[in-house]
Amino acid sequence: MQRTLQPEILDSLPVDHPDALHNRRDLRVTNWIAGNHRWLRRQLPTLLRAGERALELGAGTGELGLRLQRDQLPIDGLDLWPRPLGWFAERSWHVADLRSFAGYADYPVVYGNLIFHQFSDADLAVLGARLRRTARVIVACEPARRRLSQILFRTLGPLLGANYVSLHDANVSIAAGFRGDELARQLGLEADAWVIRCQTTVLGFYHLIAVRR
């Protein structure tokens, strides 16, 4: 199964469109069942050093970042969307394209939840070149690319109330996901410079933790 990118319906909808709102509800359900946020909340405190800040790539509605802020972690956000309501006043929110963001030097730790798969191999190479200059830690939680996950979501999604946007975009996202050490390689993370851990969960999610040696 080759990695393929296709447009996601959500990207064509206004932020406040009812179908987009329903999709975000479906994403919350997916993240909860898969334990994506719980995994990141366990990992990040062990990776941040005193005085460091972390940056969430593709922070979206800010739900994950807010949870981490409530855990007393210094989390800032980066997204094309505007600053979410309730985002901690002392924490920064950057409205920018992550491929051209100029402030990575301020963040030794960067992480993303369901964001890296949205970019082509060429875009990931550009992003990786930026991150390699300044990041000490890179963490990602992404779809694992496997047909079984597509079949399961197509079967179980309607039972969980998923709408047509979620059913379509989940299939597209899984097809654009990662296997093995693919994401590390596409970001240009070499084993002699980084300690890299990649694993796929039983529920079909791909975890990457890369720490500079």
Span 154-176, pLDDT tens digits: 999 999 999 999 999 999 999 99
pLDDT at 15 over 90: no
9-212 topology per CATH:
Rossmann fold (3.40.50)
Segment 135-143 shows an average pLDDT of: 98
CA-to-CA separations, 147 to 28, 66, 104, 135, 203, in angstroms, rounded:
22, 33, 35, 33, 12
pLDDT above 70 covers a percentage of the chain that reads 100
pLDDT of residue 208: 98
In this structure, which amino acid lies at residue 96?
A: A
> Is 66 in contact with 72 (CB distance < 8 Å)?
no
Burial 6-15 (b: 16+ CB within 10 A, else e): eebbbeeeee
Q: Locate the domains of the chain by residue range.
A: 9-212
Alpha helices (runs of H) in 77-195, residue ranges in sequence order: 121-134, 147-156, 164-175, 182-186
Following DSSP, what letter does each residue of 5-38 receive, concatenated? ----GGGGS-TT-HHHHHHHHHHHHHHHHHTHHH
Segment 136-155 shows an average pLDDT of: 96
Segment 190-195 shows an average pLDDT of: 96
List, for residues 43-61, the tens digit of each pLDDT value. 999 999 999 999 999 999 9
Rounded (10°) angle between helices 164-175 and 18-34: 50
Confidence of residue 210 (pLDDT cuts 50, 70, 90): very high
The CA distance from 105 to 66, in Å, is 22
Residue found under tokens 């210094």: 74
List, for residues 78-114, the tens digit of each pLDDT value. 999 899 999 999 999 999 999 999 999 999 999 999 9
Residue found under tokens 């094309």: 80
The pTM is what? 0.94
Which pairing describes strands 205-212 and 137-143: parallel, antiparallel, or unpaired? Answer: antiparallel
Residue found under tokens 């933790």: 209
pLDDT at 1 over 90: no
pLDDT above 90 covers a percentage of the chain that reads 97
> Is 162 in contact with 170 (CB distance < 8 Å)?
yes
